[in-house]
């Protein structure tokens, strides 16, 4: 659906380049700009400056956006009535100094992030009251390019109208001259007054023609400037296109990386699910261990008391053990002495045994000798008897 242009005229607005609401601010200036209002399933508001192509802001208001705007600003009219309300206010502001239009330029220095707050303001004895506030975004890129092309076409059309106007003026001059000649040839009463009237009309026509010629010349110069700006913008956007192609390649790589990240993310989600399940198990285990710990703490107090009693008993036993150990050391020393004495006795016993063996051997020898002597004596006795 094509747009229907409802309004495209020059207006005077207070331009504020800061976020301040004070009209006395040093950054506020009053200057003429162009306001265009079109309709297409809603309405669109656009402000621009024919002397500054960089000043271009636009806002499209659909039914849903206007509904939100109406609720916030408490409008009593519908979206179909909104364009005419704006046009009526603008026209009233030309005759009524109690109404004016305010434009506040906001955002940072990045052109792509700037916007304009267009306000319709009514003065009163108490304060200035904003009747409507519209947020318009700064246009750039293809939108700015299209606006410049339309702007140049408009001035080219005005330049093309110059020969037609000149021809019309020449025809009027011929007709006027013929009329003057005819009236001179047939003089009538009041011809002097008529000639004066014709001269005045001629002067007015000449003034209009000169004005049109000056406007056309100015338009032609602006068109040439706009064409130069357009060439510069085309070169700029050509560079931007190359960068955009590089960014597209980077985006494709990024998309591949993103797909890989998605697969990794799915794996991580599975791991996360398992971790959550494990966490639940650990939580249940923690509760069980915590219950056991509380039970152990309760038992711990009982065992601490028993431990204290046991420590006391251990201390007593340790003292008794020390005493027993000392007694044992004493007995050990006595036992060692007894062992040494016993070893001495064993040595003496061995010597005695050796001596006893010697004595026994000697005794056996004596016994043998006595027996031999007894036998000899017996033999002698027997011999003497015979």
Residues 251 and 203 in one domain: yes
Asked if residue 7 lies in contact with residue 36, where contact means CB atoms within 8 angstroms, the answer is yes
The answer to whether residue 61 is domain-embedded is yes
> Cα–Cα distance between 358 and 368 in angstroms, integer?
15
pLDDT of the residue at 64: 94
Residues 98 and 164 in one domain: no
Q: Which structure tokens are listed for 183?
A: 């009236």
The answer to whether residue 329 is domain-embedded is no
pLDDT of the residue at 135: 94
| Share in percent of the chain as helix, strand, coil (round to 5) | 70, 20, 15
Asked if residue 45 lies in contact with residue 58, where contact means CB atoms within 8 angstroms, the answer is yes
The answer to whether residue 282 is domain-embedded is no
DSSP, residue by residue, 82-139: HHHHHHHHHHHHHH-TTEEEEEEEES-S-GGG-EEEEEEEE--SS--EEEEEEEEEEP
* Secondary structure of 138-204 in HEC code, one letter for each residue: ECCCHHHHHHHHHHHHHHHHHHHHHHHHHHHHHHHHHHHHHHHHHHHHCCCCCHHHHHHHHHHHHHH
Residue whose C-alpha is closest to residue 8's, from 154, 168, 219, 173? 154
In this prediction, the residues of the chain whose per-residue pLDDT falls under 50 are: 19-26, 189
pLDDT, one tens digit per residue, over 32-79 is 999 999 998 899 999 998 888 778 999 999 999 999 999 999 999 999
CATH code for the domain in which residue 46 is found? 2.170.210.20
Look at residue 64 and give its three-state secondary structure.
helix
The answer to whether residue 295 is domain-embedded is no
- Alpha carbon 60 to chain centroid, angstroms: 28
pLDDT of the residue at 189: 47
Residues 128 and 238 in one domain: no
Quote the domain boundaries for residue 214.
151-184+195-268
Residues 254 and 167 in one domain: yes
Nearby residues of 92 by Cβ (< 8 Å), 6 or more positions away? 99
Per the document, the length of the chain is 386
Residues 38 and 160 in one domain: no
Residues 10 and 128 in one domain: yes
Residues 123 and 172 in one domain: no
pLDDT, one tens digit per residue, over 253-296 is 877 877 788 788 888 888 888 888 888 888 888 888 888 888 88
The answer to whether residue 131 is domain-embedded is yes
Residues 74 and 40 in one domain: yes
pLDDT of the residue at 20: 44
The answer to whether residue 275 is domain-embedded is no
pLDDT of the residue at 173: 73
**Domain boundary residue among 268, 295, 325?**
268
pLDDT of the residue at 191: 58
Residues 100 and 226 in one domain: no
**Domain boundary residue among 233, 268, 303?**
268
Task: Work out the angle between the directed axes of helices 142-185 and 191-385 (0-180°, nearest 10).
Answer: 180
Residues 161 and 131 in one domain: no
Residues 91 and 180 in one domain: no
The answer to whether residue 49 is domain-embedded is yes
**Domain boundary residue among 105, 139, 173?**
139
Q: Which structure tokens are listed for 224?
A: 């040439």
pLDDT of the residue at 214: 76
Look at residue 77 and give its three-state secondary structure.
coil
Per the structure, the count of domains in the chain is 2
Q: Which structure tokens are listed for 271?
A: 């791991």
Sign of torsion over alpha carbons 143, 144, 145, 151: positive
> Cα–Cα distance between 58 and 35 in angstroms, integer?
10
43 strand-pairing partners: 39, 61
Residues 80 and 165 in one domain: no
The answer to whether residue 96 is domain-embedded is yes
> Cα–Cα distance between 385 and 153 in angstroms, integer?
196
């Amino acid at each position: 659906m094509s747009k229907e242009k409802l309004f495209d005229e020059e207006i005077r607005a207070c331009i504020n380049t800061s976020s301040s609401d004070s009209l006395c601010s040093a950054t506020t200036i009053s200057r003429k700009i162009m306001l265009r209002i079109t309709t297409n399933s809603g309405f669109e508001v656009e402000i621009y400056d024919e002397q500054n192509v960089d000043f271009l802001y636009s806002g499209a208001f659909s039914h849903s956006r206007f509904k939100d705007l109406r609720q916030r600003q408490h409008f009593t009219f519908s979206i179909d009535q909104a364009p005419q309300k704006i046009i009526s206010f603008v026209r009233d502001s030309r005759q009524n100094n109690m109404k004016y239009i305010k434009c506040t330029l906001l955002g940072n220095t990045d052109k792509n992030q700037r916007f304009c707050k267009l306000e319709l303001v009514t003065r009163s004895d108490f304060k200035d009251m904003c009747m409507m506030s519209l947020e318009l975004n700064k246009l750039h890129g293809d939108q700015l390019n299209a606006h410049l092309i339309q702007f140049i076409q408009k001035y080219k059309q005005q330049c093309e109208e110059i020969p037609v106007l000149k021809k019309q003026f020449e025809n009027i001059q011929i007709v006027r001259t013929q009329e003057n000649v005819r009236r001179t040839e047939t003089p009538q009463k009041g011809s002097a007054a008529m000639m004066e009237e014709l001269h005045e009309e001629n002067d007015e026509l000449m003034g209009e023609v000169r004005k049109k010629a000056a406007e056309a010349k100015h338009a032609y110069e602006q068109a040439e400037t706009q064409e130069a700006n357009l060439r510069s913008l085309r070169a700029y956007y050509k560079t931007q296109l190359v960068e955009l192609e590089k960014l597209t390649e980077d985006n494709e790589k990024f998309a591949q990386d993103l797909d890989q990240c998605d697969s990794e993310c799915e794996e991580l989600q599975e791991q996360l699910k398992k971790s959550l399940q494990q966490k639940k198990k650990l939580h249940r285990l923690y509760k069980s261990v915590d219950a056991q710990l509380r039970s152990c703490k309760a038992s711990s107090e009982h065992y601490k008391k028993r431990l204290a009693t046991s420590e006391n008993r251990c201390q007593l036993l340790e003292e008794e053990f020390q005493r027993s150990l000392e007694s044992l050391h004493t007995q050990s020393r006595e036992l060692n002495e007894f062992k040494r004495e016993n070893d001495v006795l064993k040595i003496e016993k061995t010597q005695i045994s050796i001596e006893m063996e010697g004595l026994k051997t000697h005794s056996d020898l004596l016994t043998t000798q006595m027996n031999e002597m007894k036998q000899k004596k017996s033999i002698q006795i027997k011999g003497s008897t015979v």
